[in-house]
Amino acid sequence: MKSTPLYIKNLLLPNAKSPTGRRVWGLDLETVWLPFLMATNAMGDTAVPADALGSPIRLAYDKDGEVKFSKSGRPISRVAKPISDNVTLIRQNFVATLQQYTEQVAESNKEEYAKVVTSARIAGEPIINHDKAELSKAIQLQVEEALRATAEAEPVATPTPEPEAEAVPVA
The total domain count for the chain is: 2
**Strands (E) located in the chain:** 23-24, 27-28, 57-59, 77-79
Q: Are residues 31 and 114 in the same domain?
A: no
CA-based nearest residue to 34, from 12, 16, 17, 55 = 55
Q: Are residues 85 and 136 in the same domain?
A: no
Q: How many residues would you count in the chain?
A: 171
Q: Are residues 17 and 81 in the same domain?
A: yes
pLDDT single digits (tens) 77-135: 999 999 999 999 999 999 999 999 999 999 999 999 999 999 999 999 999 999 999 99
Where does a domain end: 92, 107, 122? Answer: 107
pLDDT single digits (tens) 120-142: 999 999 999 999 999 999 999 99
Is residue 24 within 8 A of residue 18, CB to CB? The reply is: no
Domain extent at residue 47 = 7-107
